[in-house]
């Protein structure tokens, strides 16, 4: 992930945070900055799968990032 992609990713996650969306990284609460950092570090060894959790009105309420190992 290059610098521009990192910035775009962070801006995207911050826009979700501004709407009250919460985040989990490997099943632990996380900030947008922590998620971007983890995705940059792990970019060479695996990836994170993004999972959207919706509320009853169809709005995203949580984003979960789980590590997927490349074999």
Place of tokens 């992609």: 5
Q: If the chain, 71 residues long, is cut into consecutive pieces of 10 residues, what is the mean pLDDT of each piece?
A: 91 97 97 92 76 96 90 66
User: pTM of the prediction?
Assistant: 0.86
Q: Give how far the C-alpha of residue 26 lies from the chain's centroid of Cα atoms, to the nearest Å.
A: 10
Residue 30 has, within 13 A of its CA and on its CB side, a CA count of: 21
Residue 47 has a pLDDT of 84
């Amino acid at each position: 992930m290059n610098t521009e992609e990192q910035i775009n990713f962070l801006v995207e996650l911050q826009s979700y945070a501004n709407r009250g969306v919460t985040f989990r990284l490997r099943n632990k609460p996380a900030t947008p900055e922590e998620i971007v950092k983890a995705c940059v570090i792990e970019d060479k060894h695996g990836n994170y799968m993004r999972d959207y959790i919706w509320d009853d009105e169809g709005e995203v309420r949580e984003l979960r990032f789980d590590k997927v190992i490349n074999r």
